[in-house]
Structure 1
Amino acid sequence: MKRITTAFVSLLVFLSYATAQNPVSWAFSLEDNGNGEISLIAKATIEAGWHLYDTEIPEGGPTPTTLTIDKLKGAEPVGKFHAEGKKPKVAFDPIFEMNIGTFDGTVRFVQRFRITNKAEFVLEGDVRAQACNEQTCTPPLPIDFAFTANDLPKTIAPLAENKTPATSTQTLLTKDTLSITDPVYVATEVASITTGHAEIDKNPLWTPVIEELKAYGMEGNVSEMSLWWIFISGFIGGLIALLTPCVWPMIPMTVSFFLKRNAANRKKAVSQAIVYGVAIIVIYLVLGLLITSIFGASALNNLATSAVFNLIFFALLVIFAISFFGGFDLVLPASWTNKMDSKAESASGILSIFFMAFTLVLVSFSCTGPIIGTLLVEAATWGNILSPTVGMFGFALALAIPFALFAIFPSWLQTMPKSGGWLNAVKVVLGFLELAFALKFLSVADLAYGWGILDREVFLVLWIVIFALLGVYLLGKLKLPHDSDVEHVSIPRLFLAIFSFAFAIYLVPGLWGAPLKAISAFSPPMYTQDFSLYNGEVRPKYTDYESGMAYAKQAGKPVLLDFSGYGCVNCRKMEASVWTDPRVKNIIDNEYVLITLIVDDKTRLPEVIEVKENGRITRLKTVGDKWSYLQRHKFGANAQPYYVALDNEGKPVGPSYAYDENVEKYIEFLQTGLRNYRKRQSNYHNQSNGYTGGA
C-alpha cells in the first residue's frame, strides 16, 4: 500500500500508464533446447509487494498468466505454457473459494516449439498477466513480442527433413481449436485478423475527462488513511499501556525523581523529563525500524495472506491473552534490567536519562509486551514497510506524553488515581480483547487450509461468548488470578459492561446471516455461513459502455461506471461490504444506471483495434483490453476497483472513487454525483427553454 498525498495521486494517476508504472517488467528471448526445439522464455521481474497468478487457475478464479500466439510460421508448439524452475505459492483464496498459485520476485515462463522450417520462422504474440498487491490489481494488458528467423539461436541446425507447409500449423492450431482460456492461445494468421483503427477515440463518449476529474479532486484514496489508522492504533495502544500496573505507578515515581534530583532548578527537571519522554519515543522507533529491516516490505505484504504466519499470530495473541488473564507474566531476563539500571547510575547527562528510559521499557515489558506484539502483528498485516515504525511512534508518543506533562505541571500528580485492583482489571479486559482478536488470524488460516472449523457461525458464537463473559467479569461476577474483590461496581465498569453485553447481543442476528458491517473486517466471509436469510446483492444493468450510456440517456439517469475485474479481490470486498448496505443498494438500483466493465474479460473482439497511445501502437484484442484502454484513455486511471459517476454525455459529475470500504464516504460519493447531475440537467433544460434567470 503506497502512502502519498492526494494532490500527488492526481498527477500519478494521469501519468500512470505513460510512465510505465507496471509493477512487472518482462524480457523475452529464445533458447536452443537441442533436437530441433527452442523455448520462448518470458522472464517476469515483479516488484516487492506484488504477485502474479499461475498459468493454471481453476474456472471462476482470477486471471491466469497466459500466452497468445498471433502469428506462427516454421514451427509448432510443444506442450503447455508454464512456469519453469519455480513453484507457485499455493494458498486458499476466500474471495474465489479455491486454492490459487501465485509468484513473486522473479519467474521464468516457458513455451517450447519444434522448428519445422528455420528459414520461414516467424513468432508473434503477447503475454498477459495480472499483477496484484494488497490494495489493487493491474489489468492483464498484452505485452507484445515478435521474433523472426534472424532471432533464432545460431546453434539451431537446419531441419530440412522436418519442413512442413506453414499452413499445416495454422490448420491444427487456430482460435477454433483452442479455448481462449488455455494458457496458450494461437490465433490465425495476422493477415487474416481484421484490424480496426482508433475509431472508438472519435466517439464523444470516449473523450478524455482527466482535467474535469482533477477539478473535482480525488476521493477514495485509503493510502494515507491506512498509515493514520496505524498511528492512531499505536497511540491508543500507548494510552492503554499507561493504565496497566507495570506503567501507571512508574509515572509519579519517575517524575518525582526528576523533580527531587533538580529541586533547586525546576526548569532543568522539566527539560530532563522531556528528554526522558523523547528517549522512550526513540527506543520504540528503533524497535519499529528493526522489525521493518528484518522482514522487509515484500515479507510484510505476504504476512497478511500467509496461513503459517496467521497461525503464529493466533498462537501469540492467545499467549498474550493468557498472560493478561494472570496465567503467567511475560518477563525479560532480570540481567537485562539490572544492566540497564547500573548503566543509568554510572552514566551522566543525557546518556543517563536514556538508560533510565530503557530500564522503564524493560521493566514494563510484562504489560506492554502483549500490546506491542498485537500492534506489530496488525501493522505487519497492512503490508506497508512504514507501518511498524509508524505504529511504534504512536505507541511511544502516548507513553511519553504523561511524563513530560506531569513534570511541567507537578501539581497534577496529586490528582492521579491511586494504584489498585483496577489496574489488574485493565489487563484482564485486554486479555478478552486479545482472545477475540486472535480468532481473526485463526479464521484466515482455517480458510487457507480448508479445515472448515471456523465458519462464520462458529466465529460469531465464540465472540458472543467472549464479550458476554467480559460483561460478567466487569460486573464482578467472574474472578481471575490477581483480581481484588469488587465491593461495588464503579460507573466506568458499569458502562463498559453495558457496552460489552450490547455488543454480544448485536452479534446474535449474524447467526442467521445479518451482514454485521461493524465487524466485516474481522469475521469470516458470508459464504462460509451455513444458513442465511440475507439477500442484498447489487447487479449491474449493463456490461457494455456504449449500450449502458444509451439506456441511461433514454431513462434520464446518471451512470455509475464500475471498472472491475474477475481477478480483482478488492472489487469483491467493495461489493460485499459496501454495495450490500441497503442505502447504497437503493441509490445504485434506483437512481443510477450501473455499468460494470471487466478489464480482464478475455472474450475476443470481432476485430483487433489499433490505438495510438503514448507514442506507440497498442493493439486491443479482447473486451477486457477495450475497457482497460477506456479507463486509461478517458480517466487516466489504471487500477481496479475504480468508480466514476457520469452524465449522459460521458462527463464526470463528481470525483472518482477508489478502494475504500467506508460506507458513509461511498454514499456521499453517490449523492454528490446525483446532486451535480440534477443541477446540470436543470441548467441544460433552462438554457434549452431560453430561461436566463431574469424576472
Structure 2
Amino acid sequence: MRQLIVFIILVFSSLPLSSQDDDNPVSWSQELNKISDTEYELIIKGDIFEGWHVYSQFTADGGSLPSEFTFKKAGVDYELVGQTQESATETAYSDIFEVEETFFKKLAVFTQRVRLLNPDVRQIDVNLFYQVCKEVCLAVDKDFYFVLDGGEAVTIEKTVDDQSLAMSAALKLDLKNKELLQEANGQTKEGSSLWVIFGLGFVGGLIALLTPCVFPMIPLTVSFFTKKSHQKSKGIVNAVLYGFFIILIYFLLSLPFHIFDSVDSQILNTIATNIWLNLFFFIIFVFFAFSFFGYYELTLPSSWANKMDAASNKVGGSIGIFFMAVTLAIVSFSCTGPILGGLLGSMTLAEGEVANNLTAGMLGFGVALALPFALFAMFPAWLNSLPKSGGWMTTVKVVLGFLELALAFKFLSNADLVGNWGIFKREIFLGIWILLFILLTLYLFGVYRFTHDGPKQKLSVGRKITGVVSLAFTIYLGLGLAKVTHLKLLSGFPPPDFYSVFQQDSECPLGIDCYKDFEKGLAHAKSVNKPILLDFTGWACVNCRKMEENVWSDLDVYPLLKEDYVLISLYIDDRKELPSEEQFDYKFESGRVKTIKTIGEKWGTFQTINFNSASQPYYVLLSPNLEVLNSAIQSAESDVYRDWLLIGLENYKSLSEK
C-alpha cells in the first residue's frame, strides 16, 4: 500500500510548474567558460529559498524525483565530456519513502563539460527537470540557452522568429469598448458556490460517519473523554477540542493545493483536462471502488498510527488530543480515503478556483466528521439512541463503491473527449451507468452478495428504500438513453448530446451552427452582419455542459443563439495538434515564451491575452468590428442570460445605426 501512496504523491508533485519564475522557490543563473576552441564548461547555479531543497541527480530510487538534464542535440552538434558534476549535497532518511534521499540546500551547482562536433554551432540548449520541496513538492521544467558568440560565452533568453512574432500579433485583438468587459453582470458568485461545495463536503463527512471504520469510534472516543475527566465540563471541553482538531487536520490537507495555485493558477485545473491525469483518476477510483467491495483493505502504514497513538499518550493535554485526532484520520483512512478521493475529483470539476473548492469541501467533510464527537460528549444520553454496528455499514460501503465506479467513468469520459478519441460516446457512457445501477439495485434487493457480507438477513427498510431510489435512477438513465428526457439532473456529467454514436447533423451544442475557429467565425459574422457570441468552453468542462443543456436550451434563449448571433466555440482543452505550419512561439510581456502546439493552447492563450481570463465557461459579445457589446459573463440563470443577450443585440443595433 505504501507504493500506492507514493505513486499518488508523485503524480500530484509532478504537475508542471509555470515557467514564470516569480513564485519559483529556486532562482537560477548560468555561466559558460571557454576551455579551448572546441571545449566549453556549462555551469548552472540555483539559489534555493530558505527551507526548500532540490534533489540530486543521484538520489535513491523509490524516493523523491531526481534532477534530470536533457542536452538537446547532444551527439550531433556536440558531445558530453563525462557526467554532470554537482556541488555539495546532504542526505537524510525519508520516513514517507523509507529511503536515504540526497538533496541540495541553499545552493545547487551543476557543471557539464562539452566538446563541439560541429564548429558552426553557436547555441547549446539544455533542459533541467527537477523537484523542489518544503511542506509540499513541486516539479519544474527549466530551459537554459548558452550562446557561443565569437568564442565568447553569452547567455540569452529564448527568442522567437519573425513568423512567430507575426502569428502572435494576429492573436491579439484590437477590441473597442474593452472597459465594458469588466462591468458587473449577474453571474454566479464564487461565495455562494463555495457554500454549496461546503455542503457537499459535509454530506461526504456524514456518509463517512456511517462506515465501519468511523462509526464504532464515536461511542468509544466519547466515553474515553467523559470517563477520563473528573469533571463533566472538562470532558466536554476535551471532546470539543478533539472535534476541532479533526476539522483542522482536514483543512490542513487542502493547504498544499493553495501553494500549487499560488505558483500557477492553472496548475490544478489541468486535472480536469489532462488526458493522463484523467486516466490516472479513472484507475484510482476503480481501485477505491473494489476496496469498498471488500476485495482488499486500503490502509496507511500502521507505523504511522502507532507513532501518533504513542505521542498522544506521551504528551497529554491539548497536544495529546491533537495526536488522537491524527490517529483517527490515519486509522479510518480505509473508509474515508476513497470518499476524500471522490471529493477531490468532484471539486476539480466544480466551478471556481480548485484550491478554494477543496478547502470548502475539506472543511465541510471535517465538520461533519467532528460534529458527533462534540454533540455526544455534551449529551451522552444520546449514545443510547445510536444504532448498533452491523451489516448495514457493509451495505453503505458497497453503495459507495458503485458511486466511485460511476465517477471513475466520468474521468475516462474526460480523457476521451479531450483526446478526441471518439470511443466513449454518450450512449456508451449512459449504458455503463445503467449497468452499474442495475447491479447496485440487484445487490440492494439481495439478488447477489459480496464475499465480505455477513450472514443473510431480512432486508431492512432503509435498504429497500435505497434499492427503489437506485431503480428509479436506472429508469431515468434509460429514458435519457432513449432520448425521452434530457437528463437535466445530470447536466455536465454525460458527454454532450452531439457526441453520439449516431451520425449528427451538427457537432455543436443543441444543433446550433457554430465555428471552432475565431477567424472563420469572424468572417462569417461580417458576411451576414450579425453579432458574435464568443464561447470559451472545454470538452471536460462540466459547467459548460450545464449552461448548454439548461440555459441555452431555454425557449427564450435558444432562438436568440440560433438566429441572432454567430456562435464561435473555442475549446481550451482541445489537445489536437495544430498543423506544423500553424505552430509558433508566443512571447508574453514578462519575457516568458510559450510554445503553441495544440488547438487548446492557442485558444487558451487567445483568451488570456485578450480578456485576461482563464476560466470556462466564459462568454463575450462582440460586433464583427470587434466592439464589445456587453460585459463578459460566466454562469447565469436563463432569464439573466436572455437579458444579457438582448442588451448585446440592442447595443449592436445602436452601433450599426451610427
Tell me by how many angstroms 1:543 deviates.
Answer: 7.9
Residue 228 of structure 2 corresponds to 261
Residue 562 of structure 1 corresponds to 534
Secondary structure at the aligned position of 2:394 is classed as helix
Q: Distance in 2 between matches of 1:507 and 1:439?
A: 17
Q: Distance in 1 between matches of 2:160 and 2:333?
A: 63
Do structure 1's residue 352 and structure 2's residue 325 form an aligned pair?
no
Further displaced range: 297-306 or 265-274? 297-306
Matched residue type, 1:510: L
Q: 1:535 to 1:632 in 2, by over 3 A?
A: closer
Residue 323 of structure 1 corresponds to 291
Q: Distance in 2 between matches of 1:87 and 1:267?
A: 59
Q: 1:345 to 1:534 in 2, by over 3 A?
A: farther
Do structure 1's residue 273 and structure 2's residue 273 form an aligned pair?
no
Matched residue type, 1:330: L
Q: 1:359 to 1:515 in 2, by over 3 A?
A: same
Do structure 1's residue 465 and structure 2's residue 435 form an aligned pair?
yes
Aligned partners of 2:535 and 2:570 also within 8 Å:
yes
Aligned partners of 1:512 and 1:533 also within 8 Å:
no
Q: Distance in 1 between matches of 2:211 and 2:163?
A: 57
Residue 513 of structure 2 corresponds to 539
Which of 341, 364, 370 is residue 400 of structure 1 equivalent to?
370
Further displaced range: 310-319 or 448-457? 448-457
Q: Deviations over 1:400-419 (max 9, x none)?
A: 12212222333433333332
Do structure 1's residue 586 and structure 2's residue 553 form an aligned pair?
no
Q: Deviations over 1:79-138 (max 9, x none)?
A: xxxx976699xxxxxxxxxxxxxxx9556899xxxxxxxxxxxx99856589xxxxxxxx
- TM-score (structure 2 length as normaliser): 0.57
Secondary structure at the aligned position of 2:254 is classed as helix
Secondary structure at the aligned position of 2:253 is classed as helix
Q: Distance in 1 between matches of 2:571 and 2:458?
A: 63
Residue 287 of structure 1 corresponds to 253
Which of 221, 243, 247 is residue 210 of structure 2 equivalent to?
243
Q: Deviations over 1:448-483 (max 9, x none)?
A: 778766444333222111011112222233322224
Residue 481 of structure 2 corresponds to 510
Do structure 1's residue 485 and structure 2's residue 464 form an aligned pair?
no
Aligned partners of 1:237 and 1:375 also within 8 Å:
yes
Q: 1:509 to 1:129 in 2, by over 3 A?
A: farther
Q: 1:585 to 1:493 in 2, by over 3 A?
A: same
Matched residue type, 2:284: L
Matched residue type, 1:310: N
Which of 369, 389, 396 is residue 337 of structure 2 equivalent to?
369
Q: 1:220 to 1:377 in 2, by over 3 A?
A: closer
Aligned partners of 1:218 and 1:655 also within 8 Å:
no
Aligned partners of 1:220 and 1:656 also within 8 Å:
no
Q: 1:521 to 1:676 in 2, by over 3 A?
A: closer
Residue 589 of structure 2 corresponds to none
Q: Distance in 1 between matches of 2:456 and 2:188?
A: 50
- Matches of residues 508-657 of structure 1 in structure 2 within 5 Å? 509-510=480-481, 516=487, 518-519=489-490, 521-524=492-495, 529-532=500-503, 537=508, 538-539=512-513, 561-562=533-534, 569=538, 578-579=547-548, 581-583=552-554, 584-590=557-563, 642-644=618-620, 655-657=631-633
Q: Distance in 1 between matches of 2:284 and 2:482?
A: 28
Residue 282 of structure 2 corresponds to 314
Root mean square deviation, CA, Å: 6.3
Matched residue type, 1:466: L
Tell me by how many angstroms 1:244 deviates.
Answer: 0.9
Q: 1:300 to 1:550 in 2, by over 3 A?
A: closer
Matched residue type, 1:562: L
Q: Distance in 2 between matches of 1:444 and 1:594?
A: 23
Q: Distance in 2 between matches of 1:529 and 1:544?
A: 25
Q: 1:322 to 1:285 in 2, by over 3 A?
A: same
Higher relative contact order (CA 8 A, sep 6+): 1
Matched residue type, 1:588: L
Aligned partners of 1:457 and 1:511 also within 8 Å:
no
| Ranges in structure 1 where 5+ consecutive residues have no aligned partner | 1-20, 22-82, 89-103, 111-122, 131-138, 144-199, 603-626, 684-695
Aligned partners of 2:492 and 2:542 also within 8 Å:
no
Aligned partners of 1:561 and 1:597 also within 8 Å:
no
Matched residue type, 1:418: K
Aligned partners of 2:236 and 2:378 also within 8 Å:
yes
Matched residue type, 1:283: I
Tell me by how many angstroms 1:649 deviates.
Answer: 13
Q: Distance in 1 between matches of 2:384 and 2:282?
A: 41
Matched residue type, 1:258: F
Q: Deviations over 1:338-364 (max 9, x none)?
A: 443343334321122122222222332
- TM-score (structure 1 length as normaliser): 0.55
Q: Distance in 2 between matches of 1:286 and 1:572?
A: 28
Q: 1:666 to 1:560 in 2, by over 3 A?
A: farther
Q: 1:267 to 1:440 in 2, by over 3 A?
A: same
Residue 119 of structure 1 corresponds to none
Q: Distance in 2 between matches of 1:485 and 1:356?
A: 36
Aligned partners of 1:324 and 1:430 also within 8 Å:
yes
Tell me by how many angstroms 1:335 deviates.
Answer: 4.2
- Matches of residues 47-66 of structure 1 in structure 2 within 5 Å? none
Residue 640 of structure 2 corresponds to 669
Q: Distance in 2 between matches of 1:349 and 1:311?
A: 45
Tell me by how many angstroms 1:657 deviates.
Answer: 0.7
Aligned partners of 1:514 and 1:534 also within 8 Å:
no
Q: Distance in 2 between matches of 1:290 and 1:595?
A: 37
Q: 1:598 to 1:341 in 2, by over 3 A?
A: closer
Matched residue type, 1:669: V
Q: 1:512 to 1:272 in 2, by over 3 A?
A: same
Aligned partners of 1:221 and 1:657 also within 8 Å:
no
Q: Distance in 2 between matches of 1:285 and 1:572?
A: 26
Secondary structure at the aligned position of 1:656 is classed as coil
Aligned partners of 1:247 and 1:364 also within 8 Å:
yes
Matched residue type, 1:421: G
Q: Distance in 1 between matches of 2:553 and 2:570?
A: 23
Q: 1:637 to 1:458 in 2, by over 3 A?
A: closer
Q: Distance in 2 between matches of 1:449 and 1:598?
A: 12
Q: Distance in 2 between matches of 1:597 and 1:407?
A: 55
Residue 52 of structure 1 corresponds to none
Secondary structure at the aligned position of 1:562 is classed as strand
Q: 1:277 to 1:323 in 2, by over 3 A?
A: same
Count the aligned residue pairs. 504
Tell me by how many angstroms 1:429 deviates.
Answer: 0.3
Aligned partners of 2:534 and 2:567 also within 8 Å:
yes
Tell me by how many angstroms 1:431 deviates.
Answer: 0.6
Bigger Rg, which one: 1
Aligned partners of 2:235 and 2:377 also within 8 Å:
yes
Matched residue type, 1:360: L
Q: Deviations over 1:382-437 (max 9, x none)?
A: 78455555543332222112212222333433333332322211111001111111
Percent identity for Structure 1 against Structure 2? 36
Q: Distance in 2 between matches of 1:367 and 1:141?
A: 54
Secondary structure at the aligned position of 1:582 is classed as coil
Aligned partners of 2:226 and 2:235 also within 8 Å:
yes
Q: 1:549 to 1:109 in 2, by over 3 A?
A: farther
Q: Distance in 1 between matches of 2:198 and 2:400?
A: 19
Tell me by how many angstroms 1:267 deviates.
Answer: 2.3
